[in-house]
Amino acid sequence: MTDFIRIGAAALVFVMGGAAAAEPIKVGDTMEGVRNARYCEIIPIVRDGLHLVATVYNTLGHNDCPAKIWAGITEDAMKQRFGALMVLMNGPRFFIMDEITASGASASGKTIDVDGMELTARASIDLGLFDLLHGPYRETTIDRDTVYRFKALSPVFLLEGPDGNR
């Protein structure tokens, strides 16, 4: 399954200030109780021939992105670690879906340790060399096998572009 998201809103998140953080439970390939679970992502962008590849590593299922560790991680250190042109430090954020089921590469991605914080590769984004010139919040195809579930009567949030497209 291919997901469409807008860069800058990876995984369709919403910061829920003041609410207690959730503690997700893994059941098979599904993470249950994800709504309001705190997480962060490290997204290195590396050159592969004439195109760029961004790999999305996130903390879901490992930890809640401890503030002290997250504050100590720098873009420069991550650029060196991954040999990246740039690194997006996305977070901390809070999930707004209730369950996430991953399969394929989304479920079996490589787990890394960054300063004592574990993250797993969940998605890969192929970018052209000129894609970095575009601003945030544009539709992008993400290569992942993921199903997001929202419980009935739970709030959902839609991103709407300046042209009114969702």
Q: What is the pLDDT of residues 119-141, one digit of tens each?
A: 999 888 888 766 666 666 667 77
Amino acid identity, position 141: T
Report the largest interatomic distance among the alpha carbons of the chain, rounded to a whole angstrom. 47
The partner residues of 56 in beta bridges, in order of sequence, read: 123
Side by side, which strands form the sheet with 145-149?
25-27, 30-32, 99-103, 145-149
Its pTM stands at 0.78
Q: What pLDDT, in 10s, does the model give residues 49-84?
A: 888 999 999 999 899 999 999 999 999 999 999 999
**Cα torsion angle, 122, 126, 129, 133, sign:** negative
The yes-or-no verdict on residue 160 having pLDDT over 50 is yes
Asked whether the predicted pLDDT for residue 10 surpasses 70, the reply is no
